[in-house]
Amino acid sequence: MNRAISRLTGISIIIIVIIAIIAALFIFTMAPTPTAGGTIKIGFTTSVTGSLSVEGTRQLHGIQLWQEWVNSHGGIKIGNKIYNVSLLYYDDQSSKDNVVALYERLITADKVDFLISPYSSGLTFTAAAIAEKYHKVMVATGAASDSIFQQGYKYTVQLYTPGSLYLKSTIDLLLAKDPTAKNIAIIYEDEIFAASVADGAKKYAESKGLNVVYYDKYPSKPTDLSSLLTVIKSKNPDAIIGGGHFADGVLLIKQAKQLNVNAKLFSIVVAAPEDKFRDALGADANYIMGPSQWEPDVKYTVNYGPSVSEFINMYVKRFNETPTYHSAGGFAAALVLQAAIEKAQSLDSDKVREAFNSLDLKIFFGAFKIDPATGLQIAHQMVLIQWQGGKKYTVWPTEAASKEPIYPKPSW
């Protein structure tokens, strides 16, 4: 009797297994195969020529690398369709006037699906108005000014840490290394981004008890800063911070040395983190600091997209150079747009903008999360770099640093 029951049980198990296999094969056979959905067109301008060409070209490289990466990984899946990505872009020659016409063209003639911003807050401020006019989602990269996101716009979202927080890490380091520091000079380019950075730095410095003994701007694209630096020298500040973009940042340091303007700390935005800053200044770049949105030695754990090392390896292989934060920002801007499209499962601009509101990403570039009401970035944090012996190191905050900061800076 027992043997019969055992035999019957064995047969039943075999039958169940056969049925399960058949069912699995049936389900597999019935599962829809993704089909080609076409192409998602992403449009933008970039500064291949003009005063912003260094940063603009690196940002372009990052976006191009993302396109190659996403297409090689099967494209973007929406429902049962797979979309490849194409890029349409023009050289804006670092001109606001060109940005207006070219973004109009991208939307009305080229019929792009989504936008990425030009490089710089000034150009992005202009492009954001066009994106809003046509209800096109635009990811702002290389554009940190808070004011872009104070216009009541809906369709522009920010990748970078806002400008008002750019020099916070510099002031934190100054006070941590030198609690006796009292006086600080802030000099900045008369431009929307730099003004936002300077205003935020002034407010933060004063909130920490520092005396802002000099606070003034210089014209955009300056050729001579000697008169301002002479006044700063007379104030004998502990730190000189500010700048604007690459060319004026280099000029500021060159003329500070020529005039023997010394301070215990120099921190220059945008220019200092670029390798070309060292190339332009040689040994005079040493000990100069600068806030950076990203550096290759950061240690971030990701929950979306490539890891830090994967991104760096791809970039070096493709462009034969180490990526800067401008390069990384280009890739990251397209990557978060990809995440929003996938979350929305749609190419509809309003649905993708809505999807951005709930993204909470940890990518190779750092954290990404926006204020739903304004599109302002609220999660990403700055790091601080310093040139030492011709090499660039992350020196602040301590948990992200690869080397100790050198403070005070030796005199020229």
Question: Could you write out the three-class secondary structure of the chain?
Answer: CHHHHHHHHHHHHHHHHHHHHHHHHHHHHHCCCCEEEEEEEEEEEECCCCCCHHHHHHHHHHHHHHHHHHHHCCCEEECCEEEEEEEEEEECCCCHHHHHHHHHHHHHCCCCCEEECCCCHHHHHHHHHHHHHCCCCEEECCCCCHHHHHCCCCCEEECCCCHHHCCHHHHHHHHHHCCCCCEEEEEEECCHHHHHHHHHHHHHHHHCCCEEEEEEEECCCCCCCHHHHHHHHHHCCCEEEEECCHHHHHHHHHHHHHCCCCCCEEEECCCCCCHHHHHHHHHHHCCCEEEECCCCCCCCCCCCCCCHHHHHHHHHHHHCCCCCHHHHHHHHHHHHHHHHHHHHCCCCHHHHHHHHCCCCEEECCEEECECCCCCCECCCCCEEEEEECCEEEEEECHHHCCCCCCCCCCCC
Average pLDDT (261-285) is 95
Query: pLDDT-derived band of residue 51, with 50, 70 and 90 as boundaries?
Result: confident
Number of C-beta neighbours around residue 80 at 10 A: 11
Q: What is the pLDDT of residue 264?
A: 98
- Residue 61: which pLDDT band, with cuts at 50, 70 and 90? very high
Q: Is the pLDDT of residue 23 over 80?
A: no
* Full-model pTM: 0.77
Q: What are the angstrom distances between the C-alpha of 1 and each of 4, 6, 14?
A: 5, 9, 20
What pLDDT, on a 0 to 100 scale, did the predictor assign at position 28? Answer: 45
Structure tokens at 94: 């670092």
Work out the pLDDT band at 10, boundaries 50, 70, 90.
Answer: low
